[in-house]
Amino acid sequence: YEKDIRKVKVGQEIYFTVAAKPDELLKAKIHAIGKTFETDPKALHVHADVHNEDKELLPGMYVEGRIVQDQKMAFAVPEDAIIKEGEQSFIFILDEDEEMEADKMKFKMIPVTVGINDLGFVEVNLPAEVSKDAKVVIKGAYILSSERIKGELGDHD
């Protein structure tokens, strides 16, 4: 966005993807910034050193990227780990307080506050009583939620 141009600085890192490798997150570092803002399309030319050891990236390829402005450490989970019920977001964690029955695992559905959502991950603020080392369900959360609703998992709220 035009309002964000002043935030772009030499030395910032860029994370990006290309159509040829849509599932691979690539990295670059800004070494020069253009002096003019293009109006069509609305763009600022940014030159960056790209890590391209395999030589699969070619000049002129379209990239979709994000410039890292601020970095902070945060607890984040894949988007698929978040369950929404109304306005409230939840995650499932392994219930290590319960004694496990043979070949059965028990899970707790924990209300969480979500933050920044980017590149397929969501920042999650855990309640104070939940350990940062808790084992979070990152795949199959909707299945667990459906089973909980059907009553097959019992009441673990």
pTM over 0.85: no
- Do 56 and 116 belong to one domain? no
- Do 58 and 88 belong to one domain? no
Reported confidence tier of residue 35, pLDDT bands at 50, 70, 90? confident
| Domain span at 146 | 76-150
Read off the CATH number of the domain in which 54 is found. 2.40.30.170
| Mean pLDDT of all residues belonging to the chain | 82
- Do 46 and 92 belong to one domain? no
- Do 54 and 92 belong to one domain? no
- Do 19 and 49 belong to one domain? yes
pLDDT tens digit string along 53-78? 777 888 888 888 888 777 777 788 98
State how many domains the chain has.
2
Choose among 128, 16, 17: nearest CA to 75: 128
